[in-house]
Amino acid sequence: MKSTTISTVGALARYACGLKARDLSQEVKLHAAKCVLDTLAAAAAGLSAPSVVAAREASSALFGKGEIPVWFDGRRTTTAGAIFANSSAAAVLDMDDGHSEARGHAASAVVPAVLSLAGEIGASTDEVLSAIAIGYEVAVRIKAARGDHGQAGWNGQSGVWAGFSVAVAIGWLLKASEDQIAHGIALTGVYSPNLVATSYTKEFGADVKEGIPWSAVVGYSSMILAKLGHAGFTDTLDCPPFYDASTILRGLGEERMKILGNYFKPYATCRHFHAALKGLEDVMADHAIKAAEIETIRVHIYDYALRLSNKTQPQSLIDIQYSIPYCMAIVAILGADSLMPIDESLLGRTELIALAERVQIVPDPEFSSRYPEVVLNRIDVVTAGGTFSTPPMRPPCDPDAPMTMEQLERKFTNSTARVLGERRQSDLLSAFGRFLEGEIAPLLKAIATPAKTSA
């Protein structure tokens, strides 16, 4: 296998191999644990989505039978099959965490991969949390340094880079060598889905969404291949303008770990317009505005958000996730709780469609110039009695004001109520509490137990 000592993939591998679980702070491990709970909430809530049902059905056919559980289902498959099925559930409702520097989602790839492998190899809680954080670190750095790869103005969906988090986390858990992890990273960079069609399709999302589940499988497969001697292009991250190696390595091992800069979502929608949703909540509450009184809602936002489908008559849950007008109408008429999670009952509602068609999306040049470093929205709510506006707002639950563990537990309880039921919720939260205390077996058992609505 070709030496990786002077390459960027080699430097990243050296960083990962040089870390022991004891080297990571309790702050980092607690944050990784938050990612675990948030990902499990997203996966349970998404369990009955048609694409997730299909992914579970396909997991054994595609990847074979095995002993690794499909979460909340009762069936078992191989590690790769479980990663695919569980990541599909975690990513489907757009409830999963994200990172502004990467402009996408890592946890819905790396958490299912690490938990699936943990049961197979008997990894400890400490090892699981460390692997998640280390994988997260490498993937966010790579994505932040990624060029547009010939897709002008397009920075790459999560599926083109989330696999890096899986490859590194899996390699670290398996105690792979530096060269093996380096080649795992290199292989992931080539084998991951390129998702080129997302830059030109008019059918934004579809069941492909951001390609995260397949990317997670690629990251896992690449690391297994690398351990067996499969070699990748070791200069894959050293070729500008595709990647800026200096950005990838700047501050590596010296700065706060990237996982501490993630965010958790209060709404199960694309985060581009979360500030607008919160602004609408605030304006209606502060001025006692009823939905029937609203004539128009203007959403001022950066022009990148105009790439969303923004359908006023969505045909699927994914259409809802990417529609500023329809989600604004849901908050105005039904309240924000209806966005955590979304479900099929929101489709085809004439009152929602009518208000969505009165939502105007207004590109703001200043907001556009500051994106993605600063994410800003503001809104105007026009009624017969006057126009009520917000100042420029950032999304709620930013890294500067992150969700607490208690808030994440409430998110879990609210979003999984119909799927798990009160007793199963209690059992899982109890198991998660023991996980925080260092006992992993109860959590692995809880997520392997079928939910009441599993298909």
What pLDDT is stored for residue 454 in this prediction? 42
85 shares its domain with 214: yes
- Tell me the pTM: 0.94
223 shares its domain with 345: no
What pLDDT is stored for residue 4 in this prediction? 63
What pLDDT is stored for residue 204 in this prediction? 67
Asked if residue 13 belongs to a domain, the reply is yes
Per-residue tens of pLDDT for the chain, all 455 residues: 656 668 999 999 999 999 999 999 999 999 999 999 999 999 999 999 999 999 999 999 999 999 999 999 999 999 999 999 999 999 999 999 999 899 899 999 999 999 999 999 999 999 999 999 999 999 999 999 998 766 655 557 899 999 999 999 999 999 999 999 999 999 999 999 988 887 787 776 688 889 999 999 999 999 999 999 999 999 999 999 899 999 999 999 999 999 999 999 999 999 999 999 999 999 999 999 999 999 999 999 999 999 899 999 999 999 999 999 999 999 999 999 999 999 999 999 999 999 999 999 999 999 999 998 899 999 999 999 999 999 999 999 989 899 999 999 999 999 999 999 999 999 999 999 999 999 999 999 999 999 974 44
Q: What is the torsional sign of CA 170, 174, 179, 180?
A: negative
Burial (CB count <10 Å: 0-12, 13-18, 19+), residue 401: exposed
Q: Which amino acid is at 113?
A: A
Question: Of 389, 412, 428, which one is at a domain's C-terminal end?
Answer: 389
CB 85 within 8 A of CB 108: no
Asked if residue 240 belongs to a domain, the reply is yes
275 shares its domain with 342: yes
284 shares its domain with 206: no
258 shares its domain with 290: no
Q: How many CB atoms lie within 10 A of CB 25?
A: 12
Could you tell me which residues are beta bridge partners of residue 294? 383
Q: Which domain holds residue 74?
A: 8-263
Could you tell me which residues are beta bridge partners of residue 297? 359, 381
160 shares its domain with 241: yes
What pLDDT is stored for residue 1 in this prediction? 64
Asked if residue 281 belongs to a domain, the reply is yes
Asked if residue 356 belongs to a domain, the reply is yes
> Of the candidates 228, 249, 245, which has an alpha carbon nearest to the alpha carbon of residue 236?
245
What pLDDT is stored for residue 409 in this prediction? 97
290 shares its domain with 331: yes
Domain with residue 86: its CATH number is: 1.10.4100.10
Asked if residue 437 belongs to a domain, the reply is no
Q: Which amino acid is at 351?
A: E
DSSP H helical segments within 250-296, as ranges? Answer: 274-286
CB within 8 Å of 66: residues ≥ 6 apart: 76, 77, 78, 79, 81, 82
Asked if residue 403 belongs to a domain, the reply is no
40 shares its domain with 172: yes
Question: Of 369, 389, 409, which one is at a domain's C-terminal end?
Answer: 389
Domain with residue 381: its CATH number is: 3.30.1330.120
341 shares its domain with 205: no
Q: Which amino acid is at 136?
A: Y
223 shares its domain with 276: no
**Cα separation of the two ends of the chain:** 44
Question: Of 214, 234, 263, which one is at a domain's C-terminal end?
Answer: 263
How many structural domains is the chain composed of?
Answer: 2
229 shares its domain with 280: no
Asked if residue 446 belongs to a domain, the reply is no
Helix (H) or strand (E) holding 389: strand 386-389
258 shares its domain with 302: no
Asked if residue 434 belongs to a domain, the reply is no
* 3-state SS assignment for residue 341: coil
What pLDDT is stored for residue 205 in this prediction? 61
